[in-house]
């Protein structure tokens, strides 16, 4: 499917440092050194409701990675999926009595507009679950050939015991895995399964649900195989980073990694990066709980999307944090001050700001530190009225280009 149009990214006069990123699987920082283009897959939305600030936080986090790689001189191949057929989407469509295809299309379009407003660089490939069904089917056949698939009634399951490395992404033991599996779409108690943690890869047709033809009968793919198939189709094995929110570490990313390892004998991804969860009213912001702050709602109330982006940048991507209106209004004021400082033209020296911001972002996407570096420049520049003799005559322009390219803030 179509992505959204790309904002322009100014070319900076300096090359940024190599990018270090925390890897969930090892718990350590990993320096990425892609030979050609850096290959990034980020799990996309399930489009049954509008984009909330939690989703936005995750996509802005990976946008910082995309931008840091580009600043370091690496082209990036970025793939994202849209889970445009899945249980929660079908249930919502049923409840509100609209066609599930129409609901998915409408919410996907709103997501594109939100991402565009937040100046998130679009993926090179935005791929729907429905359009990727042939790849999922072919991938299930590979897993079948590897002896890792069995049938329970009309459904096909992937046997986690087929993968000797199962558990290596999350590092969880079985006692920790089982409740998470049940909570996040799994069915540990289903009769006929060989292992409670085995996941469904093909769901046989159910009355009233959409279904497609396949060598395994009519039905639709399971959730995990969707992301395995799409990522492998566009990026191949051992791509640089598999990303998403931390709610996807287990079972989702664990299963994708296992599928790919069993099918190919190779590593799925070199590293796994996860964004923290954004909460509201004391609980994780989620469509099922309904405690949501929507990007589109704030945009419709004339909130500058750059202020929304600044709120996100002020939190480290790996931390869990709570959305507050106070933080939003503070960001609105900050954006105004930044605009004023940038408009002066001359200002405090820009070279240390460029260096400081690029270094912070290359060090595990430390946007809060990068924002502090800009804040200090703004304070120094406003303090001197931008006119001190020792000032940098083109500082405003240099910092403007910097925060646009590296932080995605166009002011």
Q: Name the residues that contact ligand 5CA, by CB under 6 A.
A: 43-46, 54-55, 57-58, 81, 83, 227, 244-245, 247-248, 275, 277-278, 284-286
DSSP H or E segment with residue 5 = none
Least distance to Zn ion from the beta carbon of 43, Å? 3
Residue 362 near which of Zn ion, ligand 5CA, none (CB within 5-8 Å, type-dependent) = none
Binding mask 213-242 for Zn ion (x = CB under 5 A): --------------x---------------
Per DSSP, the three-state class of 112 is helix
The count of residues in the chain is 411
Residue 353 near which of Zn ion, ligand 5CA, none (CB within 5-8 Å, type-dependent) = none
User: Which residue, 272 or 280, is less far from Zn ion as judged by CB?
Assistant: 272
Least distance to ligand 5CA from the beta carbon of 207, Å? 25
User: Which residue, 43 or 362, is less far from Zn ion as judged by CB?
Assistant: 43
Spell out the residues 6+ positions from residue 129 whose beta carbon is closer than 8 angstroms to its own.
81, 82, 83, 84, 85, 86, 136, 221, 226
d(CA 111, CA 122): 11
User: Which residue, 54 or 386, is less far from ligand 5CA as judged by CB?
Assistant: 54
User: Which residue, 226 or 366, is less far from Zn ion as judged by CB?
Assistant: 226
Per DSSP, the three-state class of 46 is coil
Contact 384, 376 (CB under 8 A): no
Residue 67 near which of ligand 5CA, Zn ion, none (CB within 5-8 Å, type-dependent) = none
One residue of 9, 40, 43, 249 binding Zn ion per CB under 5 A: 43
Residue 296 near which of ligand 5CA, Zn ion, none (CB within 5-8 Å, type-dependent) = none
Least distance to ligand 5CA from the beta carbon of 294, Å? 12
Residue 57 near which of Zn ion, ligand 5CA, none (CB within 5-8 Å, type-dependent) = ligand 5CA
DSSP H or E segment with residue 151 = strand 149-152
Contact 169, 272 (CB under 8 A): yes
SS (H, E, C) 335-382: HHHHHHHHHCCCECCCHHHHHHHHHHHHECCCHHHHHHHHHHHHHHHH
Q: Which stretch binds Zn ion (CB under 5 A): 22-30, 42-50, 334-342, 344-352?
A: 42-50
Least distance to ligand 5CA from the beta carbon of 360, Å? 21
Q: Which tokens belong to 92?
A: 């919502």
249 is a contact residue toward Zn ion (CB under 5 A) = no
Q: Are strands 269-275 and 239-245 parallel, antiparallel or unpaired?
A: parallel
First to last CA, the chain: 30
Q: Which stretch binds Zn ion (CB under 5 A): 2-10, 19-27, 39-47, 339-347?
A: 39-47
Least distance to ligand 5CA from the beta carbon of 88, Å? 8
Least distance to Zn ion from the beta carbon of 252, Å? 6
Residue 106: count of CB within 10 angstroms of its CB: 14
User: Which residue, 227 or 348, is less far from Zn ion as judged by CB?
Assistant: 227
Maximum pairwise Cα distance, the chain: 80
Least distance to Zn ion from the beta carbon of 224, Å? 7
Q: Which tokens belong to 282?
A: 């004391």
Least distance to ligand 5CA from the beta carbon of 281, Å? 12
Q: What is the size of the binding site for Zn ion (CB under 5 A)? A: 2
Contact 12, 21 (CB under 8 A): no
User: Which residue, 16 or 54, is less far from Zn ion as judged by CB?
Assistant: 54
Beta bridge partners of 51: none
d(CA 348, CA 359): 19
User: Which residue, 197 or 227, is less far from Zn ion as judged by CB?
Assistant: 227
Least distance to Zn ion from the beta carbon of 251, Å? 11
Alpha carbon 235 to chain centroid, angstroms: 16
Q: Which residues are at the interface with Zn ion (CB under 5 A)? A: 43, 227
């Amino acid at each position: 499917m179509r992505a959204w149009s790309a904002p322009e990214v100014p070319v900076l006069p300096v090359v940024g440092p190599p990018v270090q990123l925390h890897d969930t699987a090892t718990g350590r920082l990993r320096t990425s050194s892609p030979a050609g283009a850096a290959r990034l897959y980020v799990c996309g939305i399930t489009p049954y409701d509008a984009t909330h600030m939690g989703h936005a936080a995750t996509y802005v986090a990976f946008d910082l990675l995309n931008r840091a790689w580009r600043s370091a001189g690496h082209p990036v191949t970025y793939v994202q999926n849209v889970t445009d057929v899945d249980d929660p989407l079908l249930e919502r469509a049923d409840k509100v009595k609209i066609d599930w295809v129409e609901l998915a299309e409408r919410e996907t379009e709103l997501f594109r507009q939100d991402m565009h407003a937040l100046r998130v660089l679009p993926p090179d490939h935005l791929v729907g679950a429905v359009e990727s069904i042939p790849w999922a089917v072919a991938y299930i056949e590979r897993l079948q050939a590897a002896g890792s698939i069995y049938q329970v009634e009309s459904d096909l399951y992937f046997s986690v015991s087929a993968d000797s490395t199962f558990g290596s992404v999350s590092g969880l033991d079985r006692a920790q895995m089982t409740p998470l599996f049940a909570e996040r779409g799994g069915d540990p108690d289903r009769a006929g399964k060989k292992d409670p943690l085995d996941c469904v890869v093909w769901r046989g047709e159910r009355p009233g649900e959409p279904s497609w033809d396949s060598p395994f009968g009519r039905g639709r793919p399971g959730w995990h195989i969707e992301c395995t198939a799409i990522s492998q189709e566009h990026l191949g094995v051992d791509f640089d980073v598999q990303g998403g929110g931390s709610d996807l570490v287990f079972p989702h990313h664990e299963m994708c990694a296992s599928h790919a390892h069993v099918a190919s004998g190779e590593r799925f991804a070199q590293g796994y990066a996860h964004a923290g969860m954004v909460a509201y009213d004391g609980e994780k912001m989620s469509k099922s709980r309904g405690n949501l702050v929507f990007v589109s709602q704030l945009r419709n109330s004339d909130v500058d999307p750059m202020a929304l982006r600044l709120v996100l940048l002020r939190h480290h991507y790996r931390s869990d944090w709570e959305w507050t209106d106070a933080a939003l209004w503070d960001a609105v004021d900050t954006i105004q001050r930044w605009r004023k400082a940038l408009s002066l033209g001359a200002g405090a020296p820009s070279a240390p700001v460029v260096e400081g911001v690029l270094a912070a972002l290359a060090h595990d996407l430390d946007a809060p530190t990068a924002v502090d570096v800009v804040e200090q420049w703004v304070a120094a520049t406003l303090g001197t009225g931008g006119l001190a003799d020792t000032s940098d005559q083109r500082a405003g322009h240099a910092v403007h280009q910097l925060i646009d390219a590296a932080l995605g803030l166009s002011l």
